[in-house]
A and B are shown apart, each in its own frame.
Chain A
């Protein structure tokens, strides 16, 4: 009788040796990560995956000696509870059975499953004459699985995990639908683990950042998963901001105007409308559309002149459109449409003027030259249609608010998925 049992992965065809033959029930293929049922002679595929989980602090298959016993890492799990992330390694020795090595927050624990169970109480348990106080009770989710296990496991498995502590020693109780398991966890130093195993430091779960937000993230009652709610609140607030911006900016009153500008000529002034601001302060939006020129730009200097005070508010706009060909092929840039937003316009009636100057790119058409196609023409012109309105919508303000709203849950999300 041989001790090794080799199987062929039904998903990727790779040959996998079962390290704890006779005990192992579930195996995650080390080539493709597919979850296999190896409880019986015929290997069955539970879930197919394309890529095996990597980046564990200790790779499965590693051997090391702890407490005078040689252990082989036969399985590894990545688990999370709220914002806490950690890795668990299943150790096996055929003579000594199974143990756990848990890496969390840069610290290590050595776990032994208990045969004699603690006397249960809600807030404390007693075990072998000592009392352990409840420290934490939360749902634990397994996010990644690699290697082999003596029970049925899969990504996404959820159990209720409670931790009881006496000094630095802990008892962990995990309750699933079928059973309750108790594990004793004792701290072991990182140096000791590193002496036994080659530990990939860059794949260790991150130690908590010693920053001001630490207390905010880890304070009692804050570990719960409220991230989804945060995103919803942020979204609702953004919709509210959108509505406020639209409805508080009115009333809207518009005026149309038109101007024709000669390319290369000096700037010319045109009156393009009259608008009346009826609230103490309003935004004013001026939209301009031009005819379809190429390789020209038109500078637009707007002035809102108050009829009573003759005071002027100035703003600026441009329409520009260029085309060309380079090594990447033809390109075009710019638009025949532009919007100008003027803020804090006080109550009053305004005449809207524009100083417009059109120019050619890369240079203005030579003044006085005669276009052979249009020898009696007055030179090339650009036609512009203006629409000036009271009210407006500041997209800059909207996106600033969106960034400020979503940055908080976004940063929390990034922290959680960082390691």
Chain B
């Protein structure tokens, strides 16, 4: 597929993941919706991402259980006590992943819709609050809700599955267990999705094409 151009500024708009409807223009921050028939529509302007020292960038490849997945987009969420990055990845086998960054650690999850039917989570899907310490079973693992946040979109880049305009909000519930498993349930205006995976450090993701951060060299174990 030929690259598209931004309907607002005319700059090249690379298609990193044709399966995703939204793309942020790297030059003018215009959020572009790609129609099914190849149509392009400017739907608004995305906030400029605040500076950070994340080692992940668009194009970074991570490996989990032998599957390579490439980062195609990023959204930055803010909540009352801070902010974090979530990177969207598309694997070679077509699976979608979120890579969440927190405290220098990473939560790599793939979509796991089956857990949405669990009563405690179904209740949340229907718009009710989630109780902390709520325990659910997903894929044979017991996980406990440890962290519930109301988050606001602070900016985005690349290709993403939802519109990241200022004011876009979601409710995020993180579940975890002693073994380091992670379940993230996110509810926004488009609905609720559930993502199951693991907590890991960066080395555990066996990453490639990391971002070169000024003033730092990539440690040998990761290069």
Do A and B touch directly, given a CB cutoff of 8 Å in the complex?
yes
Query: Which residue of the partner chain B has the closest CB to A22?
Result: B52
B123 within 8 Å of A by Cβ? no
B222 within 8 Å of A by Cβ? yes
Main secondary structure on A side of the interface with B: loop
Contact status A150-B202, CB under 8 Å: no
Interface residues contributed by chain A, number (CB under 8 Å): 34
Q: Tell me which of B53, B178, B179, B219 contacts A3 (CB under 8 A).
A: B53
A327 within 8 Å of B by Cβ? no
B98 within 8 Å of A by Cβ? no
Give bound CA distance, A342 to B50, whole Å: 83
Contact status A22-B51, CB under 8 Å: yes
Give bound CA distance, A1 to B78, whole Å: 18
**Known contacts A3-B214, A21-B52, A94-B213: A117-B178 contact under CB 8 Å:** yes
Residues of A within 8 A of B180 (CB): 115-117
Contact status B51-A5, CB under 8 Å: yes
Q: Range of interface residues on chain B? A: 35 or more
Contact status B52-A115, CB under 8 Å: no
A363 within 8 Å of B by Cβ? no
Give bound CA distance, A115 to B180, whole Å: 5
Give bound CA distance, A21 to B146, whole Å: 25
Residues of A within 8 A of B63 (CB): none
**Known contacts A1-B49, A94-B55, A115-B201: A150-B103 contact under CB 8 Å:** yes
A93 within 8 Å of B by Cβ? yes
B218 within 8 Å of A by Cβ? yes
Residues of A within 8 A of B200 (CB): 115
Would you give the 0/1 interface string for A99-120, flagging 1 where the beta carbon is closer than 8 Å to chain B? 0000000000000010111110
The residue in A4, A25, A116, A179 that gathers the most chain B C-beta atoms within 10 A of its C-beta is A116
Q: Which positions 192-223 of chain B face chain A at CB distance < 8 Å?
A: 199-203, 210, 213-222
Residues of A within 8 A of B214 (CB): 2-4
Q: Tell me which of A39, A92, A117, A118 contacts B82 (CB under 8 A).
A: A39
- CB of A145 to closest CB in B, whole Å: 16
Residues of A within 8 A of B219 (CB): 68-70, 93, 95-96
B118 within 8 Å of A by Cβ? no
A209 within 8 Å of B by Cβ? no
Residues of B within 8 A of A152 (CB): 81
Give bound CA distance, A4 to B218, whole Å: 17
Contact status B51-A92, CB under 8 Å: no
Contact status A3-B222, CB under 8 Å: no
Give bound CA distance, A118 to B203, whole Å: 21
Would you give the 0/1 interface string for A143-164, flagging 1 where the beta carbon is closer than 8 Å to chain B? 0000000111000000000000
- CB of A183 to closest CB in B, whole Å: 12
**Known contacts A1-B49, A3-B213, A150-B104: A95-B78 contact under CB 8 Å:** no
A23 within 8 Å of B by Cβ? yes
Residues of A within 8 A of B53 (CB): 3, 19-23, 94
The residue in A3, A39, A95, A98 that gathers the most chain B C-beta atoms within 10 A of its C-beta is A95
Give bound CA distance, A294 to B49, whole Å: 85
Residues of A within 8 A of B134 (CB): none
**Known contacts A22-B83, A39-B81: A70-B199 contact under CB 8 Å:** no
**Known contacts A5-B50, A23-B104: A97-B201 contact under CB 8 Å:** yes
Contact status A39-B52, CB under 8 Å: no
B105 within 8 Å of A by Cβ? yes
Query: Which residue of the partner chain B has the closest CB to A150?
Result: B103
Contact status B104-A98, CB under 8 Å: yes
**Known contacts A3-B53, A21-B53: A95-B210 contact under CB 8 Å:** yes
Residues of B within 8 A of A25 (CB): 81-82
A211 within 8 Å of B by Cβ? no
Contact status A118-B178, CB under 8 Å: yes
Contact status A22-B178, CB under 8 Å: no
- CB of B131 to closest CB in A, whole Å: 15
A41 within 8 Å of B by Cβ? yes
Q: Which positions 23-53 of chain A face chain B at CB distance < 8 Å?
A: 23, 25, 39-41
Give bound CA distance, A23 to B215, whole Å: 17
Q: Which positions 226-281 of chain A face chain B at CB distance < 8 Å?
A: none
Pairs across A and B, CB under 8 Å, 24 listed = A1-B49, A3-B213, A3-B214, A21-B51, A23-B52, A39-B78, A39-B81, A69-B221, A70-B216, A70-B217, A94-B55, A95-B216, A96-B104, A96-B201, A96-B219, A96-B222, A97-B105, A97-B202, A115-B105, A115-B199, A115-B201, A116-B179, A116-B199, A150-B104
Please report B residues at the A interface, Cβ cutoff 8 Å: 49-55, 78, 80-83, 85, 103-105, 146, 178-180, 199-203, 210, 213-222
Known: A22-B53, A39-B82, A117-B180. 9 other contacts (CB 8 A): A3-B51, A21-B51, A68-B221, A94-B53, A94-B216, A96-B202, A97-B105, A115-B180, A150-B104
List the 7 closest A-B pairs by CB distance, nearest first: A22-B52, A97-B104, A116-B180, A115-B199, A117-B178, A5-B51, A94-B53
